[in-house]
Amino acid sequence: MDVRIENSWKEQLREEFEKPYFETLTNFVRSEYSGPTPIYPPARLIFNAFDHCPFNDVKVVIIGQDPYHGAGQANGLCFSVNKGVPFPPSLLNIFKEIAADTGRPIPADGDLTRWSDQGVLLLNATLTVRAASAGSHQNKGWEQFTDAVIRILAKKRENLVFILWGSYAQKKGAFIDRNRHLVLTSPHPSPLSAYHGFFGNHHFTLTNDYLIKQGKSPIDW
């Protein structure tokens, strides 16, 4: 199956694209986008996280769950929103922790493309969603696909940083070899849990300290 995705990822995921579940998933997604209800992100941005972060450029992986399901929010990068969109609560809390951890001021916009272009793969477990219906595209095959992405990175790359916020992400990344990669875990940045261990986790400076030790350039958060 010919999938419109960045070339290095197309090569790495070639076998995945030929599996029966992916064909079933593709048919489902196409039917959803052709229906009357808006689907997010826009179809051209489904693989945006991969297009901005080629396989060999990945330094950090942040795992989210679902795209935002409000109009104009989702841009294919987990936790990220388009410029001009108000910060969702979790993203605001991420920026607050960055400010406390690194001294960097809260940015003017929530578009995290600037992270992707530095080697941060912002990977949602499910890459599409129906408008105003959180979780509507779960259990259709996306989770199997993104599990494969994580496995390939964990196996073929070394000394990556995997950032797993909340129980969902931690379960999804449970198999990652902690001797081969740095795995950082904490509660989710959601307002429901941010004060129970997300704030003060220092994941942003811990990530950069590790990258520097590995001879890699740190992330400008």
Give how far the C-alpha of residue 140 lies from the chain's centroid of Cα atoms, to the nearest Å: 18
**SS3 of residue 219 by DSSP:** coil
Contact partners, residue 157, CB within 8 Å, separation at least 6? 55, 58, 181
The pLDDT of residue 143: 98
- Rounded to 5 degrees, φ, ψ at 145 are -65, -50
CA 91 vs CA 11, 111, 161: distances in Å: 32, 10, 20
Nearest to 92 by CA among 74, 76, 109: 109
Q: Is the peptide bond before 107 cis (omega within 30 degrees of 0)?
A: no
Q: Give the pLDDT mean for 45-73.
A: 97
Q: How confident is the model at residue 31 (pLDDT cuts 50, 70, 90)?
A: very high
pLDDT (tens digit per residue) in 154-211? 999 999 999 999 999 999 999 999 999 999 999 999 999 999 999 999 999 999 999 9
pLDDT (tens digit per residue) in 66-85? 999 999 999 999 999 999 99
For 177, other C-beta atoms within 10 Å of its C-beta total 10
The pLDDT of residue 2: 86
The pLDDT of residue 149: 98
Give how far the C-alpha of residue 49 lies from the chain's centroid of Cα atoms, to the nearest Å: 7
Q: Give the pLDDT mean for 31-40.
A: 98
CA distance 78 to 69: 12
pLDDT (tens digit per residue) in 154-169? 999 999 999 999 999 9
Q: How confident is the model at residue 1 (pLDDT cuts 50, 70, 90)?
A: confident
CA distance 90 to 73: 13
Active site residue 101: no
CA distance 92 to 79: 10
The pLDDT of residue 194: 97
Tokens of residue 186, six digits: 């904490």
Q: How confident is the model at residue 126 (pLDDT cuts 50, 70, 90)?
A: very high
| Ramachandran class of 126: left when φ > 0, alpha when ψ lies in -120 to 50, beta otherwise | beta
* Mean pLDDT estimate for the chain: 97
User: Pairing mode, if any, of strands 129-130 and 161-165?
Assistant: unpaired
Nearest to 78 by CA among 53, 104, 108, 106: 53
**Amino acid, res. 96:** K
CA distance 82 to 112: 8
Contact partners, residue 159, CB within 8 Å, separation at least 6? 180, 181, 182, 210, 214, 216
Set 2, 51, 57, 66: catalytic member:
66
